[in-house]
Amino acid sequence: MNLRPARAEDQATITAMVRGVRLNPMDLQWSRFLVAEDETGIVGVGQIRPHSDASELASLVVREDRRGTGVGGQLVRALLAESQGKIVLFCRPQLESYYAQFGFRAIGVKEAPSSLRTRYAFGRFITRLIVGRPMLMMQHKTSEV
């Protein structure tokens, strides 16, 4: 498997993968994505989405037939390695232990970077209402004050 920066021609695949697992389909600019690929094509994607006072690990998707093989972990480690400052993510509570292994911990709205407080509150409301599941916000330990 190979990790590489996304190219313009990857945009349709990135969008389809993110929408396919019902993640936030907004702000999916291919230029911020890292893709994992093998001989079958793209098997995983993820991005670091910039905000005014933090960055967000976002849109992490691994193709269903490759889940549980370490693709997601490789993407997370690579994305974190090239990021600086506060890094947060939004996830389902069931994924808390998965992201904890990479140094993330759950935080509340009051601990959140100001640029993400409203997004988090709105996202929690929407995911409960439409998707029927809650959302958790986590922050990477290297970005704590």
**Which region among 12-26, 39-53, 61-75, 123-137 has the lowest average model confidence (pLDDT)?**
123-137
Asked if 40 and 70 count as a contact pair (C-beta separation under 8 A), the reply is no
Distance CA 52, CA 21 (A): 27
| Mean pLDDT of all residues in 81-91 | 90
Q: Cα(58)–Cα(111) distance, rounded to whole angstroms?
A: 19
pLDDT value, residue 23: 85
Considering its fold, how many domains does the chain have in total? 1
Beta-bridge partner residues of 8: none
Output the domain CATH number for residue 113.
3.40.630.30
Structure tokens at 37: 């690929």
Interatomic CA distance for residues 34 and 93, integer angstroms:
24
Residue type, 91: C
Nearest to 23 by CA among 126, 111, 140: 126
Q: What is the mean pLDDT of the chain?
A: 87
C-alpha dihedral sign at 107, 113, 119, 125? positive
Tell me what pLDDT residue 113 has.
Answer: 81
Percent of the chain with pLDDT over 70: 83
Give the bridge partners for 61, in sequence order: 45
Per the CB < 8 A criterion, the answer to whether 43 and 62 are in contact is yes
For 50, the 3-state DSSP assignment is strand
Residues in the chain: 145
Q: Is the pLDDT of residue 145 over 50?
A: no
Cα diameter, the chain: 45
Q: Which domain holds residue 71?
A: 2-143
Give the per-residue pLDDT at 114: 75
The model's confidence at residue 132, banded by pLDDT at 50, 70 and 90, is: low
pLDDT tier, 26 (very low <50, low <70, confident <90, very high otherwise): confident
